[in-house]
Amino acid sequence: MSMGDFINIQPSELKFPFELRKQSSCSLQLANKTDQFIAFKVKTTNPKKYSVRPNAGIVLPNSVCNVTVTMQAQKESPPDMQCRDKFLVQSAVAPNGSTSKDVTQEMFNREDGKVVHEFKLRVVYIPANPPSPVPEGDEEGNSPKSSAEEEIRKSLLPEAVARSLKQSMGNCSSEEWSAVSKLKEEKDSAIQQNKKLQEELDLLRKQTRHGQGARVSTIVVLFCLLLGILLGYFMKK
């Protein structure tokens, strides 16, 4: 607004958080920077959709008046969240001592050279629950940076554990060191014995399979020999 206007209006847009089936409100601040009583009236292109409190009144000299605009619950979202509704705030000089009850439509008629200022405001819808920004990365939402950090953390973990163990062992006495060394030797010996037993078991299985194959071959040979003897016996007869 220009410096010659009666009141300063903030904000210049009516921004409503939009959510289906829920009311939404925003505020207007009307600041009177003059030494006169200023009458105002708020109009809209869609009066059934909005409620304005107060929709008319007096702003005292060098004072501020707050106006609340409430949008009724909507059953469907507008295309692309765009709204064509408009608001108009009219202001004019009122007689000194005027109150809200004295405000009439005639105060804003441009007759007999009366000065009436008008200020238009557009309506903007803001999603009540905007989607959270998703970092660039794979389909699971892991960013390359996060994956790299995870790999580094995993690779450093064994080193950190070893360092911690080394520090702990540095505080051990000679007897504790001896016990730890003995346990380590017993562990290594058990591992070697287990490995040796596993090798012997594998060898035994191979021998068993080979022995079964040999027995089967012997039985087949004996059967063939017996069959040949029987055939020769019958042929002689």
Q: Report pLDDT digits (tens) over 62-87.
A: 999 999 999 999 999 988 899 999 99
Mean pLDDT value across the chain: 80
pLDDT band at 4 (very low <50, low <70, confident <90, very high): very low
pLDDT band at 237 (very low <50, low <70, confident <90, very high): low
Instruction: Please give the full DSSP string across 65-126, using - where no structure is assigned.
Output: EEEEEEEPP-SSPPGGG----EEEEEEEEE-TT--GGG--GGGGS--TT---EEEEEEEEEE
What's the CA gap between 122 and 119, in Å, rounded? 10
The percentage of residues in the chain with a pLDDT greater than 90, rounded to a whole number, is 46
**Cβ neighbourhood burial of 231 (10 Å; 0-12, 13-18, 19+):** exposed
pLDDT at position 206 is 75
pLDDT band at 1 (very low <50, low <70, confident <90, very high): very low
> For the whole prediction, is pTM greater than 0.85?
no
Q: Report pLDDT digits (tens) over 141-152.
A: 555 555 556 665
What's the CA gap between 178 and 205, in Å, rounded? 41
Amino acid at 179: A
Alpha-carbon separation of residue 1 from 10, 46, 84, 90, 119 (angstroms): 10, 24, 22, 12, 8
Q: How many CB atoms lie within 10 A of CB 24?
A: 18
What's the CA gap between 206 and 213, in Å, rounded? 11
What's the CA gap between 24 and 77, in Å, rounded? 14
pLDDT at position 198 is 80
Tokens 């069959």 locate to 227
pLDDT band at 163 (very low <50, low <70, confident <90, very high): low
The DSSP H or E segment spanning 143 is: none
Contact 36, 61 (CB under 8 A): yes
